[in-house]
Chain A
């Protein structure tokens, strides 16, 4: 996936974005709608052993509604979260249909429990599209679509010059995902 992206990506097209990563990150992450303090608190408050309460905290920060999950479903998701290793996403396919996970919700759990997985966000997807990286839209936690999404962000992280990396207490995946979201929202 990454080798393919390296061959087809237009590095010149990335340059204006890379130059603006710090400013774009601040525009998105530090916006009050993103509750940056709440985000940073979650970096510390989510740790093993995972609990329902941790799901609740993530849901609250992400702005998700109540999870109408049977306890078996919750256990299934939790086991998946223990087992999954970045950058694998195929494990998402092992979840039963009853789980009916949306990609935004599961990406939030993955992000705060692993940090290396990126939060799924429509604006971020648009930002990637502006850079020539087309990721199909989806509501479902499709392992291939979400896999392409996180790999694209990882690739940008690898290609970015040093001046894109600001000193901030957030994982680098969040730095780029947030910058892409702000970039995607621009006309």
Chain B
């Protein structure tokens, strides 16, 4: 190949990544024609990103605009890891959800889900852009990996695919009740993660968060609103809905990571990832319990949201509630321990525990019952307004 051809065929890293992204869409079964006139854009809000490092051991120093300004390789690696995990979740959720488009209960829901999937892909683009443009070959490789892993829940998944990094993003979303639960509980966790990165010492990462947070609020609003509409309609009994709440809350709580996390502590020391209320907080951070604190904020918010949902209940329907943060956990100090929905230690045998879980989490009979409810008017109608 002559020098002219080399130049002609050279693709900037992010441009090459875009080609891979287009292949990813085809591979996972997402038809790019569904995007219509939506165009992926890279958006930064430099105004809200701040100029000075806001917390951690570098507090008071100028925020880092480029990789070369980052003082240590370990800090650089931690930033790459944060961006990669965030990007991984964005593409994963599309892999989990796109198959629901054909079974949307209303046009409003179909278009809302489509908007969410467009914006999740844009968020993935944003993270890939940060990786490719700020972190050299290492970043480019990590950006490629965002498209190589594949949610175990994706209906079009090859045998060689590697699963997504976080548990919730490999959970199947089989129907629209799960979709609303996911957007309410899991996208809400996403809001927390984005907010914690919005004060980051790495300025392009902090500046990426503002536009993503604006878009994310629609996603979790769709979830909360969807659950309210289901409860308002009153076709699906609250007792059945509660089982799906039980299923998703524990996995949402797990997403905040292990207790007494050293990686969370280091991320705070480096100023990469702050507390959820970093700018509003009046007390110093408890650096040894950062994940626990974020999880507690999330848990409080879930309880408040549940009050709003319950206000729509039809007469005779049982009140929905957020199960204890000890119930059915796979991460943290309650992992492997048996607590019931109210946080009381479960005293029975393993067999009785299995029976208990079967009674409070969705089982095959519940799924079958749900399919019957889906044949009725199960969600309050809402028109999509052009």
Contacts and interface: CB of A to CB of B under 8 A. Distances in A.
Given A162-B209, A167-B220, A114 B214 contact: no
Interface of A: 11, 43-44, 46-48, 85-86, 113-116, 160-163, 165-169
Contact of A44 (B211, B217, B382): B382
A94 B97 CA distance: 43
Interface in B206-224: 209-211, 213-214, 217, 220-221, 224
A44 B221 contact: no
Q: Is chain A's binding surface mostly helix, strand, loop or mixed?
A: loop
* Residue from B224, B380, B382, B385 whose CB has the most chain A CB atoms within 10 Å: B385
Nearest to B213: A162
Given A161-B45, A161-B48, A169 B228 contact: yes
B386 A162 contact: no
Given A47-B383, A161-B45, A161-B48, A167 B210 contact: no
Contact of B385 (A11, A113, A160, A167): A113
The prevalent SS among residues of B at the interface is: helix
B47 interface: yes
* B-side interface size class: 20 to 34
Contacts of B221: 167-169
A65 B225 CA distance: 32
A160 B217 CA distance: 13
18 contacts: A46-B383, A47-B381, A48-B383, A86-B386, A113-B385, A114-B385, A161-B47, A161-B210, A162-B210, A162-B211, A162-B213, A162-B217, A163-B48, A165-B213, A167-B221, A169-B221, A169-B224, A169-B225
Interface string B75-104: 000000000000000000000000000000
A167 B217 contact: yes
Contacts of B47: 11, 161
A86 B225 CA distance: 24
B224 A162 contact: no
